[in-house]
Structure 1
Amino acid sequence: MNTNLNIQNKKIELIQWLSTIEDISILNKIIELRKQQNKDWYNSISENEKESIEKGLQDAESGKLNPHSTARKLYEKWL
């Protein structure tokens, strides 16, 4: 099955289930989970990842960029 279709089906299934919940404690748990997912991801990554991001930003600011077409060729098999 197509992954995107599978994800959409799961979302619909969850929406249907959520619409039937009457227990406030379950709803509060779901809301808390959503809040945790919305926390700033930057605080949860490693120092190496942060350094890589900073280097990338410095490269971008100094004009050390490759065109989209070059990146597409390099990473095509993962896109």
Structure 2
Amino acid sequence: MATFEIDDSEDVKLLRIKSDAETLVKGKGLHGLHAEDCSVTLNSNPTEKNKARKVVAWILSIVAMVVAACLIKLLGFN
């Protein structure tokens, strides 16, 4: 979603706009659009970080099980 949706405007001036949307301006017929000192910062989705942690924990648990199985086989606990 855009911060500003502007259609058929002339001499639009944006100064020092800070947004967390994906798009700053969306529109058509923007003659003379001037944006100065504007920034868009994307916040990472916290659920993506949690998913990554869960995947890493899952992989580490599989590796631990494989190591334990190898140790059991080497020590002869059949």
What is the TM-score of this pair, normalised by structure 2? Answer: 0.28
Higher helix proportion (structure 1 or 2):
1
Q: Which of structures 1 and 2 has the larger relative contact order (alpha carbons within 8 angstroms, sep 6+)? A: 2
Structure of higher CA gyration radius: 2
Higher strand proportion (structure 1 or 2):
2
What is the TM-score of this pair, normalised by structure 1? Answer: 0.28
